[in-house]
Chain A
Amino acid sequence: MQNLLRLFIHFTKPFWLYHFIFTVLGFYIIAGGGLVALILALPLKLAGYLGMFAYQTFFASQEFFYYRNAGVTIRSLFMLTFAIDMLLFITAVTIYLSLKSSHA
């Protein structure tokens, strides 16, 4: 588990800022339009994932061998990355919207 966490950090590190920017943009859309704006924010996040996937696949696929040599499949690393990022995004949005409604 510790090794998987380390590999996950290595795999995602170059994209932390990239995902943060997409998260802020998604957050900005929801802050302006409320829960309904999720219809726009979610595709934006998905586009961000697609961008990361395409970059890794076309420009850094040789590095996949490092992770495979650690016994981890690339599919599972991508799935884990996207799942954790989406979970953080949904959690942040939920907290923001509940704080907003409690102050209203």
Chain B
Amino acid sequence: MLKVDSVLLEFDNRKILQDIYIDCRPGEVTGLLGRNGCGKSSLLRIIFGVLKPAYKYINIDGNYINNGYSSGKIAYLPQHNYLPKHIKISELAKSLISNEDWDEFTAYDTFQEISNKKPGELSGGQLRKLETLIILYSKADYILLDEPFTHISPIQAEEIKAIIKKRSAFKGIIITDHQYRNILKVSDKIVLLSNGTTKVITSNDELVTYGYLSSL
């Protein structure tokens, strides 16, 4: 199980994150919701290990993790495109996809149609879908998805949701996006980030109570 506790993040003496607890276990999708600028992406970057907070405690199965990505157990889909533009997609995928999942990954039309192209040759939607697929089939046990539904069409979002559910059978997934309906649909558990703290949401009505939604 991935546990993230006691994160303290400050910018210019302003506390962005201060009372954080979030956990995730393989077989589970945790949806992270919150308003613009509340620190959702910052929290994911802290877990991944590319943003240094004043304090954090992250462990996987009881073992303290100083840097998520170098442990090889955490993969992260950032908000913006991350694949190097000058390398063929089939080559790029080989470094991230596990051997046991390779056949299943390469069977997707998303991959087959573009495997001989380079990321710079794809449309925004194609690239975003491919990047999400690569992260979901990566070797890591825990997956952090930052806005996977942004820049893709509704039909692509449906496909991505189905793949997230499929992959969550083997992996723990933390997902955040402003398209909250997609998050509610795909998640087993919802955590709201508000005023720098996390709150586990037990019913959708609480999203209104805590001011994330004006109505359901």
Contacts and interface: CB of A to CB of B under 8 A. Distances in A.
Interface of A: 3, 6-7, 10, 13-14, 60, 62-66, 68-73
A6 B85 CA distance: 15
Q: Looking at chain B, what size class is its interface with the partner chain?
A: 20 to 34
Contact of A65 (B82, B94, B140): B82
A69 B91 contact: no
B86 A13 contact: yes
The 8 closest A-B pairs by CB, nearest first: A65-B82, A71-B72, A68-B69, A63-B84, A69-B75, A70-B95, A65-B78, A10-B87
A34 to B, nearest CB: 38
Given A10-B87, A13-B87, A68-B50, A3 B95 contact: yes
Given A71-B70, A73-B70, A66 B91 contact: no
B87 A69 contact: no
Given A3-B95, A10-B92, A71-B70, A66 B84 contact: yes
A13 B81 CA distance: 19
A68 B48 contact: yes
Contacts of A65: 50, 76, 78, 82
26 contacts: A3-B95, A7-B95, A10-B84, A10-B91, A10-B92, A13-B87, A62-B78, A63-B82, A63-B85, A64-B82, A65-B50, A65-B78, A66-B83, A66-B84, A68-B49, A68-B50, A68-B70, A69-B82, A69-B135, A69-B140, A70-B96, A71-B69, A71-B70, A71-B71, A71-B139, A73-B67
> Chain A interface secondary structure, helix, strand, loop or mixed?
helix
Contacts of A62: 78, 80-82
A102 to B, nearest CB: 42
B138 interface: yes
A63 to B, nearest CB: 5
A82 B72 CA distance: 24
A33 B122 CA distance: 50
Contacts of B48: 68
Nearest to A76: B70
B104 to A, nearest CB: 18
A64 B48 CA distance: 13
A69 B92 contact: no
Contacts of B84: 10, 60, 63, 66
Nearest to A72: B70
Most buried by B among A62, A64, A69, A70: A69
